Amino acid sequence: MTTRRSTAAVAVPLLAGLTLALTGPVAQAEPVPAPVLEASPGVVLAPFYTELDLTGDRQVTPADLDVLAARLGATPASAGWTQVAAADVDADGVLTVADLAAVSARMVYDDGPFELVEASVIDMQAAMNAGVTTSVELTRAYLDRIAAYDRTLVDLAEGGRPLNSVITTSTVALQAAAAADATRATEGMTDLLLGVPVAVKDNYDTLDMPTTGGCGCWEDNHTSTDAAMVAGLREAGAVILAKASLDEFAFGFVSEFSAGQAPGSTLLAASPYRTSQTAGGSSGGTGAAIAANLAGLGFGTDTGGSIRVPSSYNQLVGIRPTVGLASRDGIIPLALSQDTGGPMARSVMDAAAALDAVVGVDPADPVTAEQAGRVPESYTAHLDPTALEGARIGYVASMVGTNPTTLRLFTQARATLEALGATVVEVTPPAGFGDVLAEPSGSTNEFRHDLDRYIATHLAPQVQARSLTDILATGHYVISRGGTYASRAAVTEETYQAWAGPEGTHTRAIATGHALVTGLMDDLDLDAIAYPTGTPYGTHSTNLRLSPNTGMPSLTVPMGQASAEDGTITGAGVNLELLGRDYAEGDLIGFGYAFEQATHARTSPALYGPLG
C-alpha cells in the first residue's frame, strides 16, 4: 500500500539558563533523558502546535526558542521584526520571557502528572516525550484495565453487565511498545501514533492475533498478513493492543458474538455508561473499549452505520471515510459496495491522527485508486477552532425527528454551529432523496460473494469452515443467526451480479444517490449536511443510510446527553453527524473539531475510572 505519513520530532524545552535541547525517554520503566536529537523538517501537526513556528518547519522546537531568545526585547521598530512577530503572544509590542514561555508551551512535551483515563494522543506523546511515561507503561496500563474491567461485573445496578468489549489481547504488544520506545530514544517522535496502543475490530486481519469476525467457527484464523490498515498503523509505530468484539460477521447493531465461547453460547457488548444497554454495533466492542479507556484509539468498520451507531451510544468521534480512502484488503467483508473502515476516538484530534495512518492507494483494493491527488498531507492540519466560520450547513427536517432528547440537542447544536460562524439552512430535499435513504444494505445479496473472496485470499489454511455452509455445520456461531446465514448461502452469483455487478440495481442506486446528494450540495453551496446520528440508545429512521448509499464520508461527534426532563434514557449520548463531498474528510474534521471545542460534550463513564 502506498501511504502518506506525517512525522513529528520530539521538541523539549529545558529552561535552565535558556539552554535548549531535544530529549525523550528510552524504553525503560524509569524515565531518563534520551540523546540530543535534531528536529526533523516537514512535520504536520494541529495548528495549535504550529502557529508560533519561527523557522518554517511547521513545528515549535528549540530552534524556534533559540531565534526568540536571541531577539528578546525586540519591538516592531527593530530590524527583522516580521520574522519573530508571531512570537509576540501577548501582543504588547515587545518580545519578553513571557512570550518565550508561551512559545515553549506549543511543544509536544509535558513533564507534569499524567493520567491515562481520557488521555489524548497529544497527552500521551507529550508525556512520552518528556519521559514521564513510556509506551511500555501505557501498554501495560491498558492491558491492566482490560483485565480488571472488561469481563468483570462493575455495574451493580439492575440489569448491569460486563463490557465484553475485547475478544483477545496481543501477546507481543509489550514487545512492540518497547520497540516504539527505542525508536523514540534514537529518532524522536517519528509519528503522532508512535507507541500509542490501538484496539481494532476483530474483522481486521492481524499477524499476532486470530481474526474471528466474532465467530467461534474462525478462532483458528491466524492470517499470514495484516490488513492493509493494520499495516499502516504498525508503520506509524502504533501498538496493536487488542481485537475488539463485534456483532458476529458485522451483521447488526447488538454486538453479539460467539468467539471464545462454547458452541451455542454468546456474549453481548455493553455500553460503559449504562451496561444494561447495548454498546451498539457492529463495532460495539471498539466503541465500549475506547469509551471506557481500555485502549488509546480504536478502529471499526461501517457498512450501514456500524462505526457511527456505537460512536453515538458511547460518546465518541467516529469517521466513516469515503469508500476508497482506506483499503479494505484484509478486512472480513459484509458488503463491499458499502464497506469502509475508520477510526473511533475520544476526540476529533485523535480521530484525525488515526486517519492519517491508514489512508493510501492499494492495488489489492482497486477503488482506492480514486483517491490519488485528493488526500491532504495530514488531516491534523484541519484542526482549526474557526473552521465553521463562513461554512454553509444544510439539514433536512425529517432527519431530525421528534425524539425529545434528539430534538433538543440538535436544536442546541444548530445554535452552536451558527454561533461559530456557520450558516445553517433547512433544505427541501429533491425528488429521489427518499429513494436514496430507502435503498437497503448490500449485506443480503453481497455477503456470500464477498466472504468467499476473503476466504480464498486471506483465510488461514487450517480453518476448516470455508463457506457459509461449512460455518452452519460447525454449530459454533450465534445460533439465532442460522436462518440468516442459510439464506445468504443460497444467494446465487446471478443474484449477486443483478444487485452489485457493474450494471446491478444497487450499483446504479449508489451512483444515483451520489449524484443527487452531491448535486444538492452544489446547487445550494453547502459544505456539509447535518443530522442526528440517532436517539438515546437507538437510531432514527434511515439517517444512517445517507453516507453508505452515496459513498460519501461522514463524521459523527458528541452533541450531548439525555436529561431527566426528556423522558428518554437519562445520560444517554446522542451524536451530531456531518456528511460531506467525496474525500472532504478534512473539512468534516475541521467542522467537527470547531464544534467539539465549543461544546466539550463528551463525558467519561464514571464506572470505569482510574484503577486503584
Nearest to 388 by CA among 574, 598, 534, 601: 598
Query: Amino acid identity, residue 156?
Result: L
306 carries an active-site annotation = yes
The cell numbers describing 610, all together, are: 482510574
Evaluate whether 541 touches 405 at the Cβ level (below 8 Å): no
**Angstrom distance (rounded) from CA 404 to CA 179:** 50
Residue linked to cell 504536520: 44
Instruction: Give yes or no for a cis peptide into 441 (omega within 30° of 0).
Output: no
Query: Amino acid identity, residue 427?
Result: V
Find the catalytic residue in 6, 165, 170, 201.
201
Evaluate whether 200 touches 299 at the Cβ level (below 8 Å): yes
243 carries an active-site annotation = no
Find the catalytic residue in 271, 282, 347, 441.
282
**Partners of residue 387 on adjacent β-strands:** none
Q: Mention every residue, 6+ apart, whose C-beta is less than 8 A from residue 244.
A: 165, 166, 167, 199, 200, 201, 202, 283, 285, 286, 288, 289, 298, 300
Residue linked to cell 449536511: 529
Evaluate whether 12 touches 109 at the Cβ level (below 8 Å): yes
Evaluate whether 558 touches 601 at the Cβ level (below 8 Å): yes
**Partners of residue 2 on adjacent β-strands:** 361
Which DSSP category does 308 fall into?
Answer: H
Look at phi and psi of residue 431 and say left if phi exceeds 0, alpha if psi is from -120 to 50, else beta: beta
Evaluate whether 279 touches 307 at the Cβ level (below 8 Å): no
Strands, E assignment, 140-217: 166-169, 197-201
Dihedral sign for Cα 497, 503, 579, 44, please: positive
Find the catalytic residue in 306, 347, 378, 554.
306
- In degrees rounded to 5, what are phi and psi of residue 532? -70, 140
3-state secondary structure 367-399: HHHHHCCCCCCCHHHHCCCCCCCCCEEEECHHH
SS3 state of residue 545? helix
SS3 state of residue 487? helix
Evaluate whether 138 touches 179 at the Cβ level (below 8 Å): no
Nearest to 517 by CA among 555, 557, 547, 556: 547
Nearest to 294 by CA among 161, 140, 121: 140
**Angstrom distance (rounded) from CA 294 to CA 288:** 8
Instruction: Give yes or no for a cis peptide into 282 (omega within 30° of 0).
Output: yes
Query: Amino acid identity, residue 159?
Result: G
Active site residues: 201, 282, 306
